[in-house]
Amino acid sequence: MSSPKKLYFASDFHLGAPGYHKSREREAMLVGWLDMIKADASEVFLMGDVFDFWFEYRTVVPKGYIRFFGKLAEMADMGIKIYMFKGNHDMWMFDYFTKEFGAAIISDELIIERNGKKFFLHHGDGLGPGDHFYKFLKNFFRSKLCQWLFARIHPNFGVGLANYWSSKSRIANEKKDTPHSPKKSEYLPVFCRELLRTEFYDYLIFGHRHRVMDMMITEKSRYINLGEWVLTRSYGVFDGENVEIKYYNPPVS
């Protein structure tokens, strides 16, 4: 009897940062991981900040990432469902990935139930108490007005400016982290506890924080942060019974 198909979760690849060569190395790792999991994956959830910058002009998208896109198209042709979440770095995804390989674009949270387990999935930005300025900026950047204004900028300048800021971002100076036990006062655990007052979830899974985190919010509800792919290459896998955090180590040639 064949083993059950699995769900895979990963976040914060930040393709494009901090420059072409480092990004290509990371893209190769990502393609290797996707190639590894395609044999037993039923659904793949790419949970935000897949790109360090992304904007879809009506007839133009940022160049590059062709190996990554090709692997996603291959997996989609195999019948694997792909979900791409908007992160704070790539919130300007529209319909390009849906047209090319049938990906579902998730703007905020996604709630699913698989094999009797209920999941709350979100990139993790703009949730919980505080950070009102960022929440204001997020609403503005997602507005039709802001998108229309940016679309008026020539891609050479708009994408070039975004790539410049990428080189200054925290990704460019990321330091290796170890699995982290989050404090109960951190904003995502606070958000989870408030959410669980009105609705039960077995798993609440996020990205954004760039740290692998795993804690029980209640006796039956578990908060998981997926970490990132600049250094740790961490991901989550649901085998039908449990979610486990794993790390991708490419095979030695």
Between the CA atoms of 44, 49, 50 and 53, what dihedral angle is there, to the nearest 10 degrees? 150
User: Is 111 in a helix, a strand, or coil?
Assistant: strand
Cα separation of 243 and 253, whole Å?
30
- Judge whether 78 and 34 are in contact, CB under 8 Å: no
- Judge whether 151 and 232 are in contact, CB under 8 Å: no
Q: Residue 87: its pLDDT value, please?
A: 87
Q: Residue 88: its pLDDT value, please?
A: 84
User: Is 133 in a helix, a strand, or coil?
Assistant: helix
pTM: 0.86
Both structure tokens of 117: 């387990």
Segments of the chain scoring below 50 in pLDDT: 1, 172
Q: What is the pLDDT of residues 61-85, one digit of tens each?
A: 888 899 999 999 999 999 999 999 9
Q: Residue 33: its pLDDT value, please?
A: 97
The domains located in the chain, with CATH, are: 6-247 (3.60.21.10)
Q: Residue 53: its pLDDT value, please?
A: 81
Q: Residue 63: its pLDDT value, please?
A: 84
Q: Is 154 exposed, middle or buried (0-12, 13-18, 19+ CB in 10 A)?
A: exposed
Both structure tokens of 104: 């579902």
Q: Residue 12: its pLDDT value, please?
A: 95
User: Is 247 in a helix, a strand, or coil?
Assistant: strand
Q: Residue 1: its pLDDT value, please?
A: 47
Closest CA to 170 of 12, 63, 11: 12
